[in-house]
Amino acid sequence: MATITPRIVTVSVEVVTAPTPSTYQQSGAFVSLGGTSLTAGTYQYLPTVSSLTSIIGSSGNYQELEHMNATFFGQGNAIGAYVLELGTQSSATAGITALQTWITANPSPWGPSMFYSYLLPATWDTSAAALNTMASGFSSPTSMVYFFVTTTQSTISAYTSTNKAIIATCPSPTAASSEFQAAALFYQWLSNAPSPANLAAPMAFRFVYGVTPWPLTGYVTTVNNILTAYGNIIQQAAQGNISTACVFRGTTIDGNQAMFWYGVDWAQLQVQQQISATLIQATNSNAPIYYNQAGINTLQNVAQAIVNSGISNGLLLSPATINAIPFSVYIAANPSNYAAGVYNGFSGSFTPQVGFETIEFPLTATQVA
């Protein structure tokens, strides 16, 4: 299991209308291509399944949006989603370019995009190479943007194994036309709300509803090829004698369990938020935190408390540590940073918590002598 040491981002104070750090990981958008009455480049939040009705159009990918919406809310009502209207596009490649342009023009203070995740039109898989290139721009360990892609066994290889920004779903060949199976995974991803009372669960084996699982027979080779390429499918949990459909295997296209990256993102967001809040509140409560060893110790303790809570929430594996270069050592090496109020001496080391995917259990049978 790899150990990720994400860069602690520079803390700044900004006035924003985007989701806050505590809600950023619950922000996701269905991508519309002229399927709504919204002006191109705008978006609207859908808190319930019926919310789409007032803005749905009669052209573009409106039917696909209806299927996204129905499948998404078919999983529950713990979270809603946005619709992002890009306007009618001439081709899949043009749509991909339009989304890239919109994301660049609409960043978030917490990451390179206003939304944490995007549910993409299924037709974009016909331009898988272009989609992979676009998503590759968000594949660094500190980038916090994900694209939910609908793909097939024949095109999944177009998405590179280093691209952690893609979560790919291959729908069942027997799925109804009204199903948008990637939306079931999209809901599971956005509805995560980790706490000690609601532990983060692996994406693999989560129950999903209103979607047709892959048949248990006749598709073994196809299914294995998809899973080997780190695609995701909906399948009945027959091996556990459970008839409910489940997610298999819950990974990003780079092969990591999706909750591995969720944990990395969570730690970055929460550390940034809590350090910012600590500095601001201390300044306004007549207990300012100064740039000295005591101040560094205080902020180090704040960050350490965050990663400790990540362990309690089922996101991070113990031990998880936040380190800090001592004040005197840091200033000696970076004398101009003191006057500028800049300290880049924190570092974090932790391993995200993941789940079992394969278990080998050898049994030996011995004849009675």
What tens digit of pLDDT does each residue of 46-61 get?
999 999 999 999 999 9
At residue 124's C-alpha, the angle toward residues 170 and 236, to 5°, is 15
Band (pLDDT 50/70/90 cuts) for residue 357 is: confident
d(CA 11, CA 344): 10
Closest residue by Cα to residue 227 from 239, 241, 214: 214
pLDDT (mean) for 217-228: 95
Output the six-digit token pair for 63.
Answer: 């039917």
> CB-based contacts of 255: which residues, under 8 Å, 6+ apart?
161, 230
pTM: 0.92
Give the tens place of pLDDT for each residue, 226-257: 999 999 999 998 788 888 999 999 999 999 99
Cβ-count burial of 49 within 10 angstroms (0-12 exposed, 13-18 middle, 19+ buried)?
middle
Q: What is the pLDDT of residue 10?
A: 41
Decide: 32 and 84 in contact? Cβ < 8 Å: yes
Give the tens place of pLDDT for each residue, 77-109: 999 999 999 999 999 999 999 999 999 999 988
Output the six-digit token pair for 346.
Answer: 């924190």
265's enclosing H/E stretch is helix 258-283
Q: What is the pLDDT of residue 8?
A: 40
d(CA 192, CA 201): 8
d(CA 39, CA 23): 25
Mean of per-residue pLDDT scores for the chain: 92
